[in-house]
Amino acid sequence: MSRPELGTTRLARRAGSPQQRGPASVGHEGAKTTPYGRPVLKEPVWTWEIPCYFYTGGLAGASAILAHLAEGQGNPQLARRGWAAALAGAGASPAFLIADLGKPARFFNMLRVLKVTSPMSVGTWILSASGVSIALAAVRAWTGLFPRAGRAGSAVAAALGGPLGTYTAALVADTAIPVWHEARHELPFVFAGSAAASAGALATAWTPAKHAGPARWATVGGAVVEVAATQLMEHRLGSVGEPYHEGPAGRLGMAAKAMTTAGAAAIALRGRRSRAAALAGAALVTAGSLCERWSVFKAGFQSAARPDDTVVPQRERIERGDTRGAVRRTSPNGRVDTDKASPAIVAHRD
């Protein structure tokens, strides 16, 4: 008797990689709270374009800020390259986002409303406005055309750079996925650090060392914040943060920390004098930043597939008395009243 092949189906995707569990089960192995270990939540449907966008969006936002500041400081060499990086990031971002849509031709439906309750809606408008203003600033920086529009674009792009580089953290935090939602206070700082490191690394690699001082500082500072904020996030998440210690998210996170740290050290120590060290450091920090975004992305999928991570913190909130939960055991005029968990939930799973 043969089981249906699951390797390529959506069912298999439900609970992480198909190798982790038996072919007949869609549940999460070792789960204690739900029968058959089935997840409570759905995994996201987002594909590889989204972590790439996290990177390019961060790159665009932080590069715009860096370029604008370099302009003000009379460092056109850095400013011009910063605007080019920002333009590349702002150009790639919508391509990734549209490619990920289930109906790419309907991208423009994003622009029929502005909803403050939807970080994706807010972010779409930030990205659109950033794209236009970055393009204006880049044209002025490279050709000198449209000087007044370019100056305005430069200021607007710099003002929107912060939100552009960090709103994606708000986007994933505003979901029911425990590892994202419970990290809502730290994730924006992880993404901000990662954005600064990405922009700094690209500018370091591309700008003559003499003019690249700010870029090196941005790389090293961003890398420190990225690694430290990630560390803090994992610590505060406690058991809900377990996806960061196993599977793809764990491996990517380790690679991110190693590469980001090594790259930042190379740039801090030798980046000014050695071209090779600057290039290698920039490549490592860029790869580290991409891995960090990918680690966060993957952790969300792993978290959704673990029913205990959804149920246990909710059950603990009820036990602590923080909330009554959604269950009521009495009629308004009734007598029976207990909101305590029944140990039978665990017991009847053998």
Show the site string, 101-130: x = touches another protein by CB under 8 A, - = not. Answer: xxxx-xx-xx-xx-x-xxxxx--x------
Window contacting another protein (CB under 8 A); options: 219-227, 231-239, 246-254, 258-266: 219-227
Residue 253 is which amino acid?
Answer: G
| Cβ 145 to another protein shortest distance, Å | 25
Show the site string, 53-92: x = touches another protein by CB under 8 A, - = not. Answer: --------xx--xx--xx--x-x-----------------
Does residue 259 bind another protein (CB under 8 A)? Answer: no
Does residue 207 bind another protein (CB under 8 A)? Answer: no
**Which of 125, 112, 122, 155 has the alpha carbon at shortest distance from 137?**
155
161 by DSSP, 3-state: which?
A: helix
Distance CA 207, CA 267 (A): 13
Does residue 231 bind another protein (CB under 8 A)? Answer: no
| Cβ 326 to another protein shortest distance, Å | 4
Residue 342 is which amino acid?
Answer: S
| Cβ 161 to another protein shortest distance, Å | 7
> Which of 16, 21, 33, 141 touches another protein by CB under 8 A?
33
Distance CA 261, CA 80 (A): 27
Residue 131, Cβ density class (10 Å: 0-12 exposed, 13-18 middle, ≥19 buried): buried
Does residue 35 bind another protein (CB under 8 A)? Answer: yes
Distances (CA, A) of 35 to 29, 172, 211, 342, 350: 11, 28, 61, 14, 11
Site for another protein, residues 163 to 202, rule: CB under 8 A: 163, 165-167, 169-171, 173-177, 180-181, 184-189, 191-192, 195-196, 199-200
**Which of 101, 148, 157, 85 has the alpha carbon at shortest distance from 127?**
157
Is 215 or 259 the residue whose CB approaches another protein more closely? Answer: 215
Does residue 142 bind another protein (CB under 8 A)? Answer: no
Distance CA 28, CA 11 (A): 12
| Cβ 338 to another protein shortest distance, Å | 9
Q: Count how many residues are written for the chain.
A: 350
